[in-house]
Amino acid sequence: VKISGGISNLSFGFRGVMKIRESIHSVFLQHAILESGMDVGIVNAHEMIAYQELEDDMKQLCENLVFNRIPEATDDMLERTGYERACIDARKKNLPPPRKPRGRLPQMPRLQFDYDKIPPKPATEPPLPTSDAAQNHVPNPYINSNLTHEKIAAIRAKATNVTKPNIDYTQPSDTYPSSFPHFVRGRDSVREYVTKLFTSRIAIYDGAMGTMIQNYAKRNRLEEEEYRGDRFANWSCATKGNNDQLSISQPQIIQGIYRQYLEEGGSDLIGTNTFSSTTIAMADYEMEDYVYELNYEGARLAREVCDEVTAKDPTKPRFVVGAIGPTNRTGSISPSVEDPAARNVTFDELVEAYFEQIVGLMDGGADILMVETIFDTLNAKAALYAVGEYLEFTGLDVPVFVSGTLVDQSGRTLSGQTGEAFYASIRHAKPMCVGLNCALGAKHMTPFVEKLAKCVECFLH
C-alpha cells in the first residue's frame, strides 16, 4: 500500500498563503495518485483546489517546484508567494491588486509551416528579387527602345541631347563564344555572369571619378572655361567643380579616366561619372534640365570604352555600373539646428529624382546599378524604391549593388546606423552585392567590413 502522511509538510515553507500551499498539494496529488499509485494521504479537504481549476501559470510553477525541473523553481515560487500575499493585503484594505509577476515564458515547440519541410540546399547565389526575370535569370535584351512606359517616355521626351540618342546596345549572339568567361549582351544573363565571376576570383571595381579628375587638373588646365566647354560657354552661373558636367563638355577627359581604370587598373567593372547627376544635386548649377543627358552620356562613354577594351580580350568582359549618388540633401536629418523636424527634401522627391537618373543610366548602356556612398539610409531606400519601380515598369533583371559610408570610428552612418543595421534596412531590395566604401581608410575599415561580412546574405565589397 502506498501511503503518504500529512501532505501539508510538502508546502510548509510557504505557510501563510493558503492558495500557494493548496496549489502545490493539488499538483502533488494529481501526479502521485494517477501516475505513481498513491492510495492513502492525509489532506485538508475543506481547502483543497482541484487540479483542473489551477491557473495555467500557477500549475507550471507548482510542477517546476514539485519535480525540481529548473534551478530557479523555488525562487519563482517565492516571487509568486509575495504577489499572492500582497493581493491578500490589498483586499483587506480595499485597494486594487498589485501587478502580477510575468513569470517565465513557456517553452513550446515552434509551429511548423510548409516551408519548414523544404529540405535545405546550399546557396549558389545571393537571394533573388521576386520578379520573373530575376528568378529565371532572363538576360537583359538591351533594346531600350522597346521600353515605352509613360513615365520613362516622359523623361526621354524632355531630354536635352543635341542629337537623338542611341539607346539600344544588344550584340549579335555569335559575337563571342557562348561559354564562360565570355559574355554577350542580350544573350547572357548579367546576374549569372557576375555570380560566376565573384565566386571564381577577386573582381576589381573602380570608379572614384572625383580624385581622378583632381589628378587630371594637377597636370592639365581644368578651370571654369574647360568645365563649360562650347556647350555651356554662356552659362548663367559658375560651373567649376561640377564634375558630372564634363561628360558633356569634356568627354575625352572622362573617357580617358575610364580607359585608365580598365587598361592600367585592370578593372572588371567601372562606375559612371554620374555621382551628382540628379535634379536635386544639379540645382546648385541650375542644370536640372540636363539630368537625363548627364546620366546618358556618363554611361554611354563608359559603355564605349568597356566594349573597346573587351574587344581586345574577350575572355575578360568589362561591365558598366551606373553610379547613383546620395544627393546633397538628407531625408532623415534636419538641415536646421533650431528645428529638428525640418526637412529640405521629401521621400517622394528623392524617388522622382532617382528614377530620372536611372532611366538615363540604363538608356546609356549600364549593366548594373549601384546606390553608393550612402550616409543616410532613407536616401538609399528612396533610390532602391526608384530602382524597383523601374524594374517593375520594364520587366528587366538588372543587378543592384549598394555601398554605405561610415563617417567615423564609431562605425555608424551619418544617420546613426551600424553597418549591420544598414544592411537590415536595405535587405528587402535583394541587392546582389553590399559593402562599405573607403571613407576611413583600408586599415580602419577592416573590423567594420568583417562585421558586415558575418550578416550579409549576398556578395560583399
pLDDT of 1 reads 56
Q: How many CB atoms lie within 10 A of CB 20?
A: 24
Question: Consecutive sets of 10 residues in the chain, 461 residues long: mean pLDDT of each?
Answer: 72 87 92 87 85 92 92 92 94 93 82 88 92 97 97 97 96 96 97 97 90 93 95 95 97 97 96 97 97 98 98 97 95 90 95 98 98 94 98 98 92 92 96 91 90 95 90
459: left (phi over 0), alpha (psi -120 to 50) or beta: beta
80 Cβ partners below 8 Å, 6+ apart? 20, 58, 61, 101, 103
Residue of 195, 147, 185 whose CA lies nearest to 167 = 147
The predicted pLDDT at position 5 comes to 67
- Find cell 540628379 and name the residue: 278
**Residue 372 in 3-state DSSP?**
strand
Q: What pLDDT, on the 0 to 100 scale, is given for residue 3?
A: 73
Query: What is the rounded CA–CA span in Å between residue 372 and residue 355?
Result: 15
The size of the chain, in residues, is: 461
The x, y and z cell numbers of residue 426, run together, are 536595405
Q: What is the distance between the alpha carbons of residues 302 and 297, in angstroms, rounded to a whole number?
A: 8
Q: Where are the beta strands (DSSP E) in 207-366?
A: 269-271, 319-324
Note the helical H segments in 168-228: 190-200, 209-219, 224-228
Q: What is the rounded CA–CA span in Å between residue 61 and residue 27?
A: 10
* pLDDT (tens digit per residue) in 4-60: 767 777 788 888 899 999 999 999 999 888 888 888 888 888 888 999 999 999 999
Proportion of the chain in helix, strand, coil states, percent, rounded to 5 = 45, 10, 45
Q: Report d(CA 365, CA 169) in Å as an integer.
A: 6
Torsion (CA) 95, 99, 100, 104 in degrees, nearest 10: -170
**Which of 141, 190, 150, 192 shows the shortest CA–CA distance to 168?**
141
Helix H or strand E encompassing 116: none
pLDDT given for residue 394 in this prediction: 98
- Which residue type is seen at 166? N
Q: Give 128-159 pLDDT, tens digit per residue.
A: 999 999 999 999 999 999 999 999 999 999 99
Q: What is the pLDDT of residue 443?
A: 86
pTM: 0.78
Mutual angle of helices 209-219 and 251-259, in 10-degree steps: 110
User: What are the Cα distances from residue 35, in Å, to 57, 155, 209?
Assistant: 22, 79, 79
